[in-house]
């Protein structure tokens, strides 16, 4: 199972705890994980990436294994420890403002 | 016995304030959607237990929420209570926050850009829903006014939205430009006597009307004068802040413009200024007494550069003559050191006798007058900045 940690406001929206577990078929990429997340929690559609373009929203970041993966291709494989369920993919609301 | 339900949107959540017809003792619930901006909450006239809310965030975008029990529980349309986590159909759900501009070759192709602050052209980009207007007659139909300015309609209780692109496409769209708050469509009024007629207003493009249920639109700004645009009498470009009407006389409209209070007696075809003796004719809100169609309310704001009441005195002004002659209403309102604003969606009236008048401030107060404005008292004092106030009169 793939582990995903959501920011506070998306956890309340989806009515889930700190972490969700997802069954991802095939290669474990950002796109595959987000597709599985939105299938399981459709109320999150449009909150992490655009409905139409599927691009990451500007103030959302993806971290895992001490790396910022936000600018990686959505079809690049996530780190092995994420694919193995040892580490979570962190969806972060960027700190902005003062 | 009658009761009232006041729906308050704030910078940090929504609140529901309820009282009986005396409007003295209030029950406050909330915050709903805590931490999110809630631009607007409004109930369906056709099914008063059905409420719609616009929940929005700079990080996470737009969410539409619906309640079918008067605000006790909420859900995103399409993900109903009881099945939020494991929907059987999975990916087909979750469209209630999808506001896609019409880009079809047939009707949407020319609708590509609007004017930016510097005069350049910029693509339309959805930012948020400012205003939700449930249909007068159908609980499943609701309109959404959005930024960048466009009008959307849902006919399935908010699950899916489709743009009424004839508004942006009627010809002047590329000349619309944002006001200080953005290029927002903030006012939507269905004509209660003519189901094919709808009025909308956009900052800062002006007022528009359809007479064919949203297919075609025309600007209705004749008589407006705005010295801050190159041609003060232009067909479009006016920063209309709010329009209100009395349901018994839908051809009579009242407008609070950036500067100037105006009225139209011909459904917007022409306007005349009725600012009269107001201490300032700048402001955001305007509303009409539910029992007296010629009695209207505004909250004067000092100027477009200083968004607070003149002289630090929070005063509602009432005209019983449809404008021009105004009286300041002060009893119960702070008359010194008050520097709040009252935003365009933050005034409402109930339909009791006497008419209740409500407004919210950027200081977090929601005031009520249960006697048509003669006296006021705060229902709550310390909410986050209030973005919108609506009221339902319930039996």
Alpha carbon distance A73, A69 (integer Å): 9
Residues 6+ apart with CB under 8 A from A58: none
Task: Decide if A79 touches B, using CB distance below 8 A.
Answer: no
Burial of B261 (0-12, 13-18, 19+ CB in 10 A): buried
How far apart are alpha carbons B193 and A81 in whole angstroms? 64
pLDDT at B85: 44
Average pLDDT of the segment spanning B23-48:
98
Give the confidence band of B363 by pLDDT, cuts at 50, 70, 90: very high
- Contact status of A13 with chain B (Cβ, < 8 Å): yes
Each residue of B97-133: b (16+ CB within 10 Å) or e?
bbbebbeeeeebeebeebbeeeeeebebebbbbbbbb
Residue in A closest to B36 by C-alpha: A9
Decide if pLDDT at B82 tops 90: no
Distances from the Cα of B89 to the Cα of A47, B12, B93, angstroms: 19, 33, 7
Distance CA B143, CA B137 (A): 12
> For chain A, what are the domain ranges?
2-93
Tell me whether residues A40 and B59 touch, CB distance under 8 A: no
Judge contact between B323 and B266, C-beta under 8 A. Answer: no
Percent of all residues in chain B with a pLDDT value above 70, rounded to a whole number: 96
pLDDT-derived band at B250, boundaries 50, 70, 90: very high
For the segment(s) A2-93, the CATH number from 3.10.20.30, 3.40.120.10, 3.40.50.11540, 3.40.50.720 is 3.10.20.30
User: What pLDDT, on a 0 to 100 scale, did the predictor assign at position B278?
Assistant: 98
Nearest chain A CA: its distance from B60 CA (Å): 4
**Residue appearing with tokens 């205003």:** B131
Taking an 8 Å Cβ-Cβ cutoff, which residues of chain B contact chain A? 34-36, 57-63, 76, 78-79, 84-87, 90-95, 97-98, 100
Chain A positions in Cβ-Cβ contact with residue B98 (cut-off 8 Å): 45-46, 51-52
b/e burial code for range B164-178 (CB count within 10 A of at least 16 → b): bbbbbbeebbeebbb
What's the angle, vertex CA A23, arms to CA A18 and CA A24, rounded to 5? 115
* The model's pTM: 0.96
Of A12, A15, A45, the CB nearest to B94: A45
Q: Which residues contact A13 (CB under 8 A, 6 or more apart)?
A: A43, A44, A47, B60, B63, B76
Residue in A43, A52, A60 closest to B79 by CB: A43
Which pair of tokens denotes residue B359?
């407004």
User: Looking at beta carbons, which residues of chain A come within 8 Å of B128?
Assistant: none
CATH architecture, domain defined by B3-80+96-394: 7 Propeller (2.130)
Map out the domains of chain B as residue ranges. 3-80+96-394
Chain segment A35-75, per-residue pLDDT in tens: 999 999 999 999 999 998 999 999 999 999 999 999 999 99
ipTM over 0.90: yes
Query: Out of A35, A46, A94, whose CB is closest to B97?
Result: A46
CA distance to partner chain B, nearest, from residue A92 (Å)? 10
Q: Which residues contact B2 (CB under 8 A, 6 or more apart)?
A: B20, B21, B352, B393, B394, B395
Tokens of A86: 């040892």
- For tokens 């909410």, what's the residue? B383
């Amino acid at each position: 199972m793939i582990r995903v940690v959501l920011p506070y406001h998306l956890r309340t929206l989806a009515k889930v705890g700190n972490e969700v577990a997802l069954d991802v078929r095939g290669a474990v990429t950002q796109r595959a994980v987000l597709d599985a997340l939105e299938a399981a929690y459709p109320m999150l559609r449009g909150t992490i990436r655009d409905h139409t373009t599927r691009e990451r929203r500007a103030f959302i970041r993806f971290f895992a294994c001490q790396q910022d993966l936000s600018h990686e291709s959505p079809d690049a494989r996530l780190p092995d420890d994420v694919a193995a369920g040892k580490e979570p993919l962190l969806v972060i609301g960027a700190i902005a403002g003062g | 016995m009658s009761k009232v339900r006041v729906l308050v949107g704030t910078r940090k959540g929504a609140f529901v304030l309820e009282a009986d017809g005396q409007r003295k003792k209030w029950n406050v619930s909330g915050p709903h959607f805590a931490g999110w901006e809630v631009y607007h909450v409004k109930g369906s006239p056709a099914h008063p237990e059905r409420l719609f809310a616009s929940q929005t965030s700079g990080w996470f975008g737009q969410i539409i929420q619906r309640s079918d029990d008067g605000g006790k529980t909420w859900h995103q349309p399409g993900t109903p209570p009881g099945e939020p986590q494991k929907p059987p159909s999975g990916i087909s759900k979750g469209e209630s926050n999808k506001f896609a501009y019409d880009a079809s070759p047939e009707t949407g192709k020319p609708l590509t850009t609007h004017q930016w602050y510097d005069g350049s052209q910029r693509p339309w980009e959805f930012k948020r829903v400012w205003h939700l207007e449930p249909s007068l007659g159908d609980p499943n139909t609701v309109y959404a006014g959005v930024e960048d300015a466009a009008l959307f309609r849902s006919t399935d209780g908010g699950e899916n939205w489709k743009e009424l692109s004839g508004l942006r496409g009627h010809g002047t769209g590329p000349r619309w430009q944002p006001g200080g708050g953005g290029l927002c469509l903030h006012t939507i009024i269905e004509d209660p006597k003519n189901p094919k007629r709808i009025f909308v207003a956009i900052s800062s493009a002006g007022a528009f009307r359809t007479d064919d249920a949203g297919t075609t639109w025309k600007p209705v700004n004749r008589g407006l004068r705005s010295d801050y645009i190159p041609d003060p009498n232009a067909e479009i470009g006016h920063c209309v802040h709010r329009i209100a009407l009395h349901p018994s006389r839908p051809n009579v409209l009242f407008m609070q413009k950036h500067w100037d209070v105006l009225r139209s007696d011909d459904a917007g075809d022409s306007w005349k200024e009725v600012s009269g003796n107001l201490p300032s004719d700048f402001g955001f809100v305007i509303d009409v007494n539910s029992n007296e169609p010629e009695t209207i309310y505004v909250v004067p704001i000092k100027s477009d550069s200083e968004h607070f009441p003149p002289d630090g005195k929070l005063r509602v002004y009432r005209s019983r003559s449809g404008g021009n002659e105004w009286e300041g209403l002060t009893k119960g309102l702070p008359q010194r050191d008050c520097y709040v604003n009252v935003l365009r969606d933050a005034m409402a009236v109930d339909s009791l006798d006497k008419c209740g008048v409500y407004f919210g401030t950027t200081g977090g107060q929601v005031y009520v007058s249960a006697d048509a404005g003669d006296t006021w008292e705060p229902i709550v004092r310390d909410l986050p900045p209030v973005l919108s106030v609506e009221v339902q009169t319930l039996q």
